[in-house]
Amino acid sequence: MALPCKQLSLILLPALFCWLLLAGSCRNDQDKGGKIDIAFRNLLNDSSAITSSLRYTNSAGNIYEVDELQYFISDIKLWKEGKAFLLTADSGIHYVDINIPSTLIWTPDQVFPAGTYDSISYTFGLNEARNISNYFVNPPERDMFWPDVMGGGYHYMKMNGKWKATGGQINPFNLHLGVGMISDSLGNNVFVQNYFTVTVPVYQAYVSESQFNRTLWFQMDINSWFDTPYTWDWNIIGGQIMQNQDAMYMASMNGKDAITVSYSSAKPK
């Protein structure tokens, strides 16, 4: 005997409700994302840079050492199928210092949608909206300040070291990258932004909520700053570039291929 439609509905509705609830739960699980760790390595001759040791040679033949390396990475975006997912945790800014191990690992508290990402973009330094004087109140970030008379804000990078000049004299260098300044045709000072944004491919960068955090490795080849497209010769350029916009432009161009990004399913140590 067939049941009346009303009775049949009363029987099927609870089952339908449970199915919809289960299906929704499955969809939510599938839509959940995961977190990422970001680790920074700074290399010379394919090995971790050894500071305060006059042992490296650039493409111009300058023998040099790096004593300090500090820089900002900001506005990291993970790209998937043409869509960008911006890292906003910690204001989207990270400070790296080769002499402070805790800065070499960043664990932002942010969830990214699950899936495979094909590229990463980032800004080296700070753009105009972020590069505001007195934004950082505590060291070490605070100590990256850039003089207000030269545009204000903060250094994008400080690389300090020494090089052996022609004749054998050991000279200091300060490769400091930040806002540049030039004069226009009327003699007025004009500020120039030297930060740069790079997009790099990343093979099989997979994010999943079902496992531990995945790791993106930002690996800097320090020697690349002195290589292409401009050959860097301290004997010609000199050791101080903060008030030399031509030199800062060369540095910003050379820096665009200084960092590669790779993916690992292992957590950084």
CA distance 28 to 26: 5
Backbone angle region of 152, left / alpha / beta, with phi > 0 → left and psi within -120 to 50 → alpha: left
Question: For residue range 191-226, what is the model confidence (pLDDT) as tens digits?
Answer: 999 999 999 998 878 888 765 678 999 999 999 999
User: Which string of DSSP letters, residue by residue, matches 185-202?
Assistant: TTS-EEEE---EEEEEEE
Q: What is the 3-state secondary structure (H, E, C) of 23-75?
A: HHHHHHHHHCCECEEEEEEEEECCEECCCCCCCEECCCCCEEEEEEEEEEEEE
CA angle 46, 157, 174 (to 5 degrees): 90
Q: Residue 184 above 60 pLDDT?
A: yes
CA 209 to chain centroid, in Å, comes to 23
Question: For residue range 226-266, what is the model confidence (pLDDT) as tens digits?
Answer: 999 999 999 999 999 999 999 999 999 999 999 999 988 76
Look at strands 259-264 and 214-221 and give their pairing.
antiparallel
Question: For residue range 126-148, what is the model confidence (pLDDT) as tens digits?
Answer: 999 999 999 999 999 999 999 99
User: Which string of DSSP letters, residue by residue, matches 74-104?
Assistant: EEEEEEETTEEEE--GGGGEEEEETT-GGGG
- When mean pLDDT is compared across 60-64, 68-72, 212-216, 258-262, the lowest value belongs to 212-216
Percentage of the chain beyond pLDDT 90 is 74
Question: For residue range 113-131, what is the model confidence (pLDDT) as tens digits?
Answer: 999 999 999 999 999 999 9
* DSSP designation for 178: S
